[in-house]
A and B are shown apart, each in its own frame.
Chain A
Amino acid sequence: MDITVNILLTIATAATPLLIAAIGELVVERSGVLNLGVEGMMIMGAVGGFGATYLTGSPWIGLLAAIAMGAVFSLLFAVMTLSLATNQVATGLSLTLLGLGLSGMMGTRFVGQPGERLPNLYIPGLTEIPVVGRLLFGQDPIFYISIALTAAVMWFLFKTRTGLTLRSIGDSHTSAHALGIKVIRYRYLAVIFGGACAGLAGGHLSLVYTPQWVENMSAGRGWIALALVVFASWRPWRVLAGAYIFGAVWIGQLHAQAFGIPVPSQFLSSLPYLATVVVLVLISRNKRLTMMNTPASLGQPFVPDR
């Protein structure tokens, strides 16, 4: 039983950064903007989180720094694509390339330094309950944030007027603009929210998952988060399910490597990436579902005419 609980806990830990980054990107894409810079914002969050923790000694400050780092970095993308109407695909790519470079440079002095892990939740009495205690009341703080975030985004998008407005912008920015909605302002806020989420996800990597700084430690998770949004056909609860499936694949291959299964470790390591491809194929085969859910103005630049 203990083993099962431990495996479930590690799956949750692996799924959390994917979930947070994907939920953030989901809001961005629902507003009609495609930000391919998730990987870059994530790694900036990771280095910012680790750096702030290293300098101040408090992983809580590190957590805030990670969020701020992602948000500020996403602002670059927002200015380019929203104010200057640049190509979103190319700009997102450059955000990722810049983030990988900048984080590598900023992190040079942190390589090999000991990190500080965010403490797990501990509620006397509740956490000690057999089996469910640790699952429900003994995880890291970001896990709880991720669940709350998913619920909040679900409520925001589908139960509030502002959420409806945001979705309408994603479906037709020209109509929304004609109705007097501030398209660009909404999109700025959405992009910055997505950046903050990606930063938080990066912070999870360097403050919880492996509390240290390793170059390129996001290892393609930002891209997997992007794939998750497509897989989930832009629905928050499906992102949650997808993130946990991927978390399970990620942990499964690590366990398989540890158990010495006679398959080369490189093949097992490539499983999450192959799984992403397979899942994308499966989901895109259903063309009607994809067509119905894709925000119609996704990725198209918008310049308000007056």
Chain B
Amino acid sequence: MMRLELVKRPQRSMLFSALSPFIAFALTIIAGAVMFALLGVNPLTAFNIYFIEPISQVWQLHELAIKAAPLILIAVGLSVCYKANIWNIGAEGQFILGGIVGSMVPVLFPQFEGPLVLPLMLLLGMVGGAAYAAIPALLKTRFGTNEILTSLMLVYVAQLFLDWLVRGPWRDPQGHGFPQTIQFNDSAVLPELMPDAGRANWGFVFALVAAVLVWILMSRMLKGFEVRVLGSSPRAGRFAGFGLNRMVFFAFLLSGALAGLAGISEVSGAIGQLQPVISPGYGFTAIIVAFLGRLNPLGIVAAGLVLALTYLGGEAVQSALGISDKVARVFQGMLLFFVLGCDTLIHYRIRVIGLALTKPEGVAKLEAAPKLKEAR
């Protein structure tokens, strides 16, 4: 029988640390080619439609930026959590709450206009996302409740709450019964960056700024060091006087605020009103973005653009080839699998052991024994 054996490297391999996202992407492409072939589509045609055509014109690059902005914003926050070994997987819910709380201004006070509206909305969005993220943080620090399950359960609750709002109290009375709020007034809409060239809005700028700020935080400031120490060795962190509970709150509030900012940016920029569904799973896809970007904010910018492309490509193959746009989800899932698998190469060498090649265990032990003595 064939067997894989991991041999620990003396130190992490810088080479594979840099290469592994690319290897993972290449493997995804190969697996994707097999998948398209199984679906009866020429892989080259499919890849052209999936990866090349959606970004061959300037306005399409703007669409890419629209999709990438929330992914980057959320993933940058999640990277801090995951570095600290804190598992916030409820960003989707924090995104929704950010969208809801930020929308209070234009929905409840439609007459309120002026330059103050947008900053207030963005601020409220961040507060909403952070407050929602504070729930699992509080439960974890107070009662030791597993944050993975609580943060995830709250996603379902947030989705249902939004559904209730737009069908119930916040429904546009002149909306012909459609489940949506009123269109936001002009001063509540996030402006486009270059209206002549495409639809991309300020959300993308927020994402880039957030990435740079978090990068500075993580690599140049004490807080970033604290995150890394507590993540890799909570015991060492305690000796250094870093509080684990404070870190749980810090990581959740930061990632919740960024997810909330992404939510309100999406609602006020790309959509312009609240509707029952405001996210095609950005909060979950951002988990993939965070890992593909090696939990490094600058890597996450690149990874966010790649994952945004999988969304656009999914839409493109659906309209051009009649394949379900779920193909995007499959690509995203495969990508994460391969990234995680390739990450093993950073810490381990992999030896493939077949039956014929292995020495009987006794022989191997005999050979190893004198070496052990020498070592002593």
Within 8 A of B (CB), among A73-97: 76, 80, 83-87, 89-91, 93-95, 97
* Contact present for B288 and A281 (CB under 8 Å): no
Q: CB distance A90 to B336 under 8 Å?
A: yes
Whether B146 lies near A105 (C-beta < 8 A) is no
CB within 8 A of B329: which of A104, A108, A269, A287?
A: A104
Q: How many residues of A contact B (CB 8 A)?
A: 46
A273 within 8 A of B: yes
Tell yes or no: B242 within 8 A of A by CB.
Answer: no
- Which of A80, A91, A280 interacts with B146 by CB under 8 Å? A280
List of B residues within 8 angstroms of A285 by Cβ: 143-144
Q: Flag A203-242 by CB within 8 Å of B: 1 or 0 each.
A: 0000000000000000110010011001000000000000
**Residue A136 is within 8 A (CB to CB) of chain B in the complex:** no
Min C-beta distance of B91 to chain A, whole Å? 12
Identify which of B119-127, B219-227, B341-349 touches chain A: B341-349
A227 — which chain B residues lie within 8 A by C-beta? Answer: 149, 153
Known: A89-B87, A105-B330, A270-B156. A280 touches B287 (CB 8 A): no
CB of B163 within 8 A of CB of A266, answer yes
Contact bitstring A88-126, B, C-beta under 8 A = 1, else 0: 011101110111111011001000000000000000000
Residue B324 at the chain A interface, CB threshold 8 Å: yes
CB distance from B320 to the nearest CB of A (A): 16
CA distance A276 to B8 in the complex (A): 40
- Answer whether A108 and B157 are a contact pair too, CB < 8 Å, given A90-B340, A227-B149, A284-B144: no
Residue in A36, A94, A95, A273 whose beta carbon sits within 8 Å of that of B148 in the complex: A36
In the complex, what's the smallest C-beta–C-beta distance from A173 to chain B, in angstroms?
14
Determine if B340 and A86 form an interchain contact, defined as CB atoms under 8 angstroms apart: yes
In the complex, A245 has a CB within 8 A of chain B: no
Q: Is A151 an interface residue (CB 8 A)?
A: no
- Set of chain B residues within 8 Å of A290, measured between Cβ atoms: 144
Contact B143 A223 (CB under 8 A): no
Chain B residues lying within 8 Å of A270, measured Cβ to Cβ, are 156-157, 160-161
In the complex, the number of residue pairs spanning A and B with C-beta atoms less than 8 Å apart equals 141
Q: Which of A80, A95, A101, A305 contacts B326 (CB 8 A)?
A: A101
Q: Which residues of B contact A91 (CB under 8 A)?
A: 337, 340
**A303 is an interface residue with CB less than 8 A from chain B:** yes
List 7 A-B residue pairs with CB atoms under 8 Å apart, sorted by A's residue number: A80-B340, A91-B337, A97-B288, A101-B328, A105-B323, A273-B153, A281-B143
Given known contacts A267-B160, A281-B139, A94 and B333 CB-to-CB distance under 8 angstroms: yes
* A277 adjacent to chain B (CB < 8 Å): yes
What's the Cα separation between A1 and B167 when bound, in Å?
38
Residues B326 and A266 in contact, CB atoms below 8 Å apart: no
How far is B87's CA from A36's CA once the two chains are assembled, in angstroms? 12
Determine the chain B residues whose CB is within 8 A of the CB of A281 once the complex forms: 139, 143, 145, 150
Whether A98 touches B87, Cβ cut-off 8 Å, given contacts A86-B341, A93-B287, A266-B164, is no
What residues of chain B lie closer than 8 Å to A284, measured between beta carbons?
Answer: 139, 143-146
Q: In whole angstroms, how far apart are the Cα atoms of A83 and B284 in the complex?
A: 26
| CB closest residue in chain B, given A220 | B156
